[in-house]
Structures are given as structure tokens and as C-alpha cells.
Amino acid sequence: MTIQVGDRLPDATLVKATADGPAKVDTTDYFKGKTVALFSVPGAFTPTCSAKHLPGFVEKADDLKAKGVDEIACTAVNDAFVMGAWGKSANADAITMLADGNADFVKALDLTMDGSGFGMGTRGQRFSMIVKDGVVEQLNVEAPGEFKVSSAEHMLETL
């Protein structure tokens, strides 16, 4: 069943690129005791993700933090090296880039999509959420091919 508002995030392991190499990030520990604006994109360096989704959160990072967000994180079904390179290329220093290389996290959320028609295999749907102390407080899942409710602008309007 797809994750819902009020549900606790499932325990999963994501990976973050660091100066010392890939570092595992346990979702239970990562989301504990803070408010996180999390957004998911179908893939790093893809058109809408690179032109609108990530840049919107980079641009609105200070505004989101002024509304009580402690951290902003982006996840995609890519490896940590790709996520790290994408974050650097987008000057996304304010965003924690979290790789879900095997799609384990989005599978546990039941928010996958089939990108095999584009040679991408299983990917995460485009969505955003506010997570407070590990519990989903707000969930915005896009309809296929759309980019509206998962944007930083929409999130700001609803906080």
C-alpha cells in the first residue's frame, strides 16, 4: 500500500556521496528529530528534474527553512556518484542528495514507476513530502508526466 500522510517512513538504506566515498544513510536515523522536505525525481540529469525540480528547491531553500524545514533532501534511483555529480553541477549545496540505487526506498513507499520505455527501468515517481520526526506530514505525488504539486513553490504555499 502506498505511503500516506500520518505513516512512518519505512526503514531503508540510502547512499550519500561524501569526500571519503559513498556513505550509507539509514532513513530511521536520518529523519529522526527533524523536519525534512524530501523530494523524489525520476532521474538525475533528466530534463524536468534538472531544469525545474532541483533548481526550484535550490532557489527556495532559505524560504523553506524559514518555514520550519531543518533539511532538504533529494532522492532518485541513481547511484551516489551520479547524485553527487548532479548536486555539484546544480550548485545544490543546500540539498542533501540521497541515492536510492536499487529503488528499495521507493519500493517500500510504493511510489515506483516503470521507466523501461525510456531505457530507465524501475524509477521513483515524482513526489515531495514533509517528514517530521520520521512521519509523513504532507505528501504530494505527481500524475504521470506532470510537474506541479511536487515543486518547491507548491510546498511553500502549503506550509
Q: Compute the distance between CA of residue 29 and CA of residue 158 in angstroms, rounded to an integer.
A: 26
Catalytic residues: 49
**pLDDT band of 51, cuts 50, 70, 90:** confident
pLDDT at 116: 82
- CA distance from start to end of the chain: 26
Report how far residue 134's alpha carbon sits from residue 152's, in angstroms, rounded to the nearest whole number. 20
Class level of CATH domain 13-158? alpha beta
Closest CA to 128 of 86, 156, 87, 108: 156
Statement: residue 120 has pLDDT above 90? no
CB 155 within 8 A of CB 37: yes
Domain coordinates of the chain in residue numbers?
Answer: 13-158
Question: What's the pLDDT score for residue 20?
Answer: 93
Gyration radius of the chain's alpha carbons: 14
Q: Tens digits of per-residue pLDDT, 149-158? A: 999 999 999 9
- The pLDDT tens digits of the residues spanning 55-112 come to 999 999 999 999 999 999 999 999 999 999 999 999 999 999 999 999 999 999 999 9
| C-alpha pair distances (Å), 48 with each of 21, 36, 39, 44, 152 | 28, 22, 13, 10, 13
- Mean pLDDT of the region 7-23: 95
How does the average pLDDT of the chain come out, rounded?
Answer: 94
